[in-house]
């Protein structure tokens, strides 16, 4: 009876509160008759600002809470990056918080590794077990005996890991691990290494080589907003957009013109455009690129068009359109970067912006003065992150590691060819929120909070001089048996290094608040409380001397060897909805925008290619590379080159909860990327063969209801 009256009274929510405001707040006087004061929050919405943790873009969010529960996520209109907008992944964040497959508390392995037998333990026991291991490693005095892998290398977890590395006398590798989104930040022909900001909103002509900026590239919300301004006709002409890409992505489908270029030949086309601009004197900055070891005339459209499969007259026309535009801009990523020649492709694409003279200009390429801005610089005692887990694990002399600490990353899934090396670690501790493939191999699990229960700070450049400092704070109290990993690492530091180091903070919350105090200019608008309320702090960085980046020699695209044994090129691209969140049901339920497929993997095949192989829609096909074979149903897709097939990345988990396990195929298993550690979503040479069986291809609006009823 008590619970029933509570529900009835709170169901009126904010409406009753506003209607009864003239009489005070009588609902606050009625409820405590049934519910103690310390357990009740009136049925009124409270919105708390934080930062989205579903991808590295750094979008600001506001979360609606009621009765100590979070129940809606929206974009923060005060945040300069996403300006109130939010993508489907950001909207799905509550499914991380309330997912039924979350790890509820600390556990230790009791069976054989990978057998799945666990014993629930207390936090004190789990912490002391990890503490003893690290103390033993430090006492043995062996260098680099611990490997710590995280996706939060620039956040408070990376900060705390840097402190632990110092305490352990640098006997620790720190590595940043995460899905590469297809942009090479090493833009040497801009004069230095930097991640550019592309001012698409104010451009008049956009030439993209594989950059899926409306889906997964860099910051899709930011660039989707910029694209809407680029296309707007309010007070200006509508911008023109050309996309060169082997398959038609959602981004290419929005272009004025799609050019189905040969995979890997994007750099050749960019140089052909540059050659036309230089030879015809179409722009003022007519200097040949320094990274070429041969005359640029060797890349004339008439000479290389057959290698790109784009007619020379089309390349010449686009060169003239690009050069004649008032504010042209070229971008590259995705398929242009996902080849062995990816870096060279990016250099050639970036050179078009140099020719256009659009660096540091409105509608052009903005180069942040502090791309590597570190919010924790004033507090940091140690760092040393390597850019790539696989690169560290495969370097000579890495043997003899004693412990692997994994934080919110899943290398057994994302580095399948390194899985055997991971199993060799004598001790593995996971701080994962879910039982993913890597966590199943752990000896100890100390579950982290979700990003909606955590403190953190990251930074995102707004333009060349301004930085958005993104503040994350708990919008709800953490579960009773989870701990923020940064707090665990800080406590380890205090226990291990108490005799040698003095730590001015005891928690991630203290670190975040001290950082805010040091970054904010004192004023009533920039108090810690006001910044936490807004969710962001905009700060201006000081210019620092730029270190020029050396040019790398251009590696020209070479045609595939006729005798390599493979007939097709597979483009593996990041799933527009799932990303790395296949354990969230609403994202599984979200139809792919180009194929309408849900709840699984698929292989996109051109109709001509499929007919030549006797493949029909829904047939289960085997896709084989030199590194393995996977199976997935075929999807007949007219908007892809006949010599190319495509598969999304994101499915194919053997663990990771009920919504992800045993669903689809992991395309990374085909990838030979161990020789190319800078990219994961490679263009891979493959063969495709029918298996003689039908696959499960669920598409929105077709047989979905029938399949759902069949599974009941």
The residue out of 366, 383, 409 marking a domain boundary is: 366
Helices (H) and strands (E) in the chain, counts: 22, 28
Statement to judge: residues 226 and 146 lie in one domain: no
**Do the domain assignments include residue 469?**
no
- pLDDT of the residue at 27: 45
- pLDDT of the residue at 141: 65
**Do the domain assignments include residue 668?**
yes
Statement to judge: residues 201 and 330 lie in one domain: yes
Take residue 210 and report the two structure tokens written for it.
């594989």
Statement to judge: residues 32 and 149 lie in one domain: no
Take residue 517 and report the two structure tokens written for it.
């105090």
The residue out of 39, 74, 97 marking a domain boundary is: 97
Mean pLDDT, rounded, for 37-51: 75
Statement to judge: residues 360 and 387 lie in one domain: no
* 3-state SS class at 655: coil
Of 77, 140, 159, which is closest to residue 490 (Cα–Cα)? Answer: 159
Statement to judge: residues 675 and 580 lie in one domain: yes
- pLDDT of the residue at 177: 59
Is residue 441's pLDDT more than 90?
Answer: yes
User: Which of 474-483, 491-500, 607-616 shows the highest mean pLDDT?
Assistant: 607-616
Statement to judge: residues 384 and 354 lie in one domain: no
**Do the domain assignments include residue 108?**
no
Specify the CATH number for the domain of residue 43. 2.20.25.90
Take residue 630 and report the two structure tokens written for it.
């996977």
Is residue 577's pLDDT more than 90?
Answer: no
**Do the domain assignments include residue 691?**
yes
- pLDDT of the residue at 184: 44
Statement to judge: residues 215 and 361 lie in one domain: yes
The residue out of 346, 366, 386 marking a domain boundary is: 366
Q: Enumerate the β-bridge partners of residue 618.
A: none
**Do the domain assignments include residue 477?**
no
Please, how many CA atoms are within 13 Å of residue 314, restricted to the half-sphere of its CB? 17
**Do the domain assignments include residue 105?**
no
Q: What is the mean pLDDT of the chain?
A: 85
Specify the CATH number for the domain of residue 349. 3.40.228.10
Statement to judge: residues 640 and 581 lie in one domain: yes
Please, how many CA atoms are within 13 Å of residue 604, restricted to the half-sphere of its CB? 26
Take residue 165 and report the two structure tokens written for it.
């590395």
- pLDDT of the residue at 684: 86
Number of domains forming the structure of the chain? 4
| Pairs from 548-553 (Cβ < 8 Å, separation ≥ 24) | 548/191, 548/192, 549/186, 549/187, 549/188, 549/190, 549/191, 549/192, 549/193, 550/188, 551/188, 551/189, 551/290, 551/291, 551/347, 552/188, 552/291, 552/343, 552/344, 552/347, 553/291, 553/293
Statement to judge: residues 376 and 351 lie in one domain: no
Q: Is the distance from CB of 174 to CB of 165 less than 8 angstroms? A: yes
Mean pLDDT, rounded, for 32-57: 74
Q: Which domain holds residue 62?
A: 2-97
Taking the CB of residue 103, how many other CB atoms lie within 10 A of it?
22
- pLDDT of the residue at 548: 57
Statement to judge: residues 586 and 676 lie in one domain: yes
User: What are the strands, taking DSSP E only, across 328-402?
Assistant: 328-332, 365-366, 385-386
- pLDDT of the residue at 593: 92
- What string of DSSP letters covers 128-139? HHHHHHHHHHHH
Specify the CATH number for the domain of residue 585. 2.40.40.20
**Do the domain assignments include residue 543?**
no
β-sheet with 466-472: strand ranges across: 456-461, 466-472, 536-540
Statement to judge: residues 216 and 353 lie in one domain: yes
**Do the domain assignments include residue 704?**
yes
Summarised one tens digit per residue, pLDDT across range 642-700 is 999 999 989 999 999 999 999 999 998 887 654 444 444 568 899 999 999 999 999 98
Statement to judge: residues 356 and 246 lie in one domain: yes
Angstrom distance (rounded) from CA 157 to CA 409: 13
């Amino acid at each position: 009876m008590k619970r029933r009256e509570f529900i009835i009274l709170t169901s009126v929510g904010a409406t009753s509160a506003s209607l009864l405001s003239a009489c005070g707040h009588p609902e606050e006087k009625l409820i405590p008759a049934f519910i103690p004061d310390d357990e009740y929050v009136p049925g009124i919405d409270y919105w708390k600002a934080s930062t989205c943790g579903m991808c590295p873009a750094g979008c600001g969010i506001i979360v609606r809470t009621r009765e100590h529960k979070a129940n809606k996520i929206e974009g923060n209109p005060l945040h300069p990056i996403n300006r109130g907008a939010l993508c489907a992944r950001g909207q799905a964040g509550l499914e991380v918080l309330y997912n039924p497959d979350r790890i509820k508390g600390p556990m230790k392995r009791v069976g054989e590794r990978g057998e799945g037998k666990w014993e629930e333990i207390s936090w004190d026991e789990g912490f002391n077990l990890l503490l003893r291991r690290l103390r033993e490693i430090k006492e043995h005095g062996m260098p680099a005996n611990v490997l710590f892998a995280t996706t939060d290398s620039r956040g408070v977890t990376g900060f705390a890991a840097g402190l632990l590395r110092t305490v352990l006398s640098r006997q620790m590798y720190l590595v940043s691990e995460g899905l590469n989104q297809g942009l090479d930040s090493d833009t040497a022909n801009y004069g230095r290494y930097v991640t550019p900001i592309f001012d698409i909103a104010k451009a008049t002509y956009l030439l993209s080589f594989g950059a899926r900026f409306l889906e997964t590239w860099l910051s899709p919300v930011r660039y989707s907003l910029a694209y809407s301004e680029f296309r707007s006709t309010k007070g200006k002409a509508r911008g023109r957009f050309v996309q060169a890409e082997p398959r038609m992505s959602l981004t290419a489908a929005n272009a004025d013109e799609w050019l189905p270029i040969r995979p890997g030949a994007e750099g050749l086309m960019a140089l052909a455009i540059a050659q036309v601009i230089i030879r015809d004197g179409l722009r003022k900055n007519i200097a040949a690129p320094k990274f070429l070891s041969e005359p640029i005339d060797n890349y004339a459209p008439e000479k290389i068009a057959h290698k790109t499969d784009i007619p020379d007259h089309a390349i010449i026309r686009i060169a003239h359109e690009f050069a004649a535009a008032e504010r042209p801009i070229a971008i590259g990523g995705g398929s242009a970067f996902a080849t062995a020649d990816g870096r060279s492709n990016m250099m050639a694409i970036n050179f078009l912006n140099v020719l256009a003279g659009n660096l540091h200009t409105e509608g052009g390429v903005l180069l942040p003065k502090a791309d590597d801005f570190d919010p924790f610089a004033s507090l940091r005692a140690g760092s040393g992150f390597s850019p790539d887990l696989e690169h560290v694990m495969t370097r000579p002399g890495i043997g003899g590691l004693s412990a692997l600490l994994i934080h919110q990353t899943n290398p057994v899934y994302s580095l399948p060819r390194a899985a055997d090396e991971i199993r060799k670690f004598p001790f593995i501790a996971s701080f994962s929120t879910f039982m993913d493939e890597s966590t199943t191999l752990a000896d100890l699990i100390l579950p982290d909070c979700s990003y909606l229960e955590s403190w953190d700070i990251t930074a995102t450049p707004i333009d060349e001089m301004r930085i958005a400092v993104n503040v994350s704070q708990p919008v709800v109290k953490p579960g009773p048996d989870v701990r923020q990993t940064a707090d665990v690492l800080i406590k380890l530091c205090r226990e291990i290094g108490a005799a040698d180091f003095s730590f001015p903070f005891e928690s991630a919350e203290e670190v975040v608040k001290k950082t805010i105090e040091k970054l904010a200019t004192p004023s009533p608008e920039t108090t810690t409380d006001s910044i936490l309320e807004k969710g962001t702090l905009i700060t201006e960085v000081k210019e620092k001397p730029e270190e020029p980046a050396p040019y790398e020699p251009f590696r020209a695209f070479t045609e595939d060897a006729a005798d390599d044994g493979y007939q097709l090129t597979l483009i593996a691209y990041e799933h527009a909805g799932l990303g790395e969140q296949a354990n969230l049901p609403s994202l599984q339920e979200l139809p792919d925008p180009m194929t309408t497929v849900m709840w699984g993997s698929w292989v996109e095949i051109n109709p001509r290619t499929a007919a030549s192989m006797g493949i029909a829609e829904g047939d289960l096909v085997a896709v084989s590379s030199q590194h393995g074979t996977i199976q997935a149903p075929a999807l007949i897709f007219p908007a892809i080159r006949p010599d190319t097939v495509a598969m999304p990345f994101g499915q194919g988990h053997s663990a990771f909860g009920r919504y992800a396990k045993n669903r689809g195929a992991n395309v990374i298993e085909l990838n030979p990327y161990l020789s190319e550690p800078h990219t994961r979503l490679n263009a891979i040479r493959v063969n495709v063969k029918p298996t003689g069986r039908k696959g499960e291809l669920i598409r929105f609006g077709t047989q979905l209801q029938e399949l759902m009823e069949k599974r009941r």
